[in-house]
Amino acid sequence: MAKRRRAPRAASVSRAPAPRPAIPGAKRRPIATRPIPWWRQNLSTLLAIAVVVGGVGVVVAGLFGGGASPYSCDSQLQPVAGATVDNPIVTPQQGFNHVPAGTRIEYASCPPASGPHYSQAGVAPLPPRFYEPDSGLGPGSWVHNLEHGFVVALYRCPGSTCPPDADLEALRAFVSEGPVTQSSTACGYRSKVLAVRFDDMATPFALVAWQRVLLLDTFDKSTALDFARTWIDKTAREQNC
């Protein structure tokens, strides 16, 4: 009996697996992606914050960097023989324009008793009180007080060596006992006096009103109170708060 010959086997061909039938209601699995960093998601917000902080930094650096707001003095007032509470040094008008906080101001003489100054809530004019040596406040702030009829007591800390504690206590007492006036009552203040550090002057202390300066080698509370009673609101351009 003859054997049946088998047909040659066809070569195997690799085929792609058939797609699985879709299951009704099944969700397609999302393709895995790398998460976007939080800083990239919020890049526009971060840039906006950087701009604001940078702007504030410029103002803060101007107000407090280097110990005081930026200013320059062409000269320092020198003591005048015979100057008294009733007859202090009368200084020329140096102007009264408002300039943006942080602007560098040039004064013809220091301590200034007039001139350009800041006008911004929280910056100038200043509330009446004793300001500590590290407050970092320059004339750009308190000259505005002078324009409004305040009297400012200045004390010097050359090389960060401030007056003795007894003198600082006397300055504090001057501020707390300043004369009550009609304008101070209207403003809600006890008195329109304040004390602040200022190093660019020829004497350790000075009493200043608008265009009036009394330079002092020693601080005496009674003299300061007499000066305040004499000059508060007397030469002010504006009797405001």
pLDDT, one tens digit per residue, over 41-58 is 555 554 444 433 333 333
Q: What ranges in 177-241 are assigned the alpha helix state H?
A: 182-187, 221-231
3 state SS of 15 = coil
Output the CA angle 173-113-65, nearest 5 degrees.
75
pLDDT in tens, 139-193: 999 999 999 999 999 999 999 899 999 999 999 999 999 999 999 999 999 999 9
pLDDT at 239: 83
Q: Say what the pLDDT of residue 54 is.
A: 39
Q: Mind listing the pLDDT tens digit for each residue in 179-214?
A: 999 999 999 999 999 999 999 999 999 999 999 999
Both tokens of 26, joined, read 């099944």
pLDDT at residue 216, rounded to an integer: 98
60 φ, ψ to 5°?
-65, -40
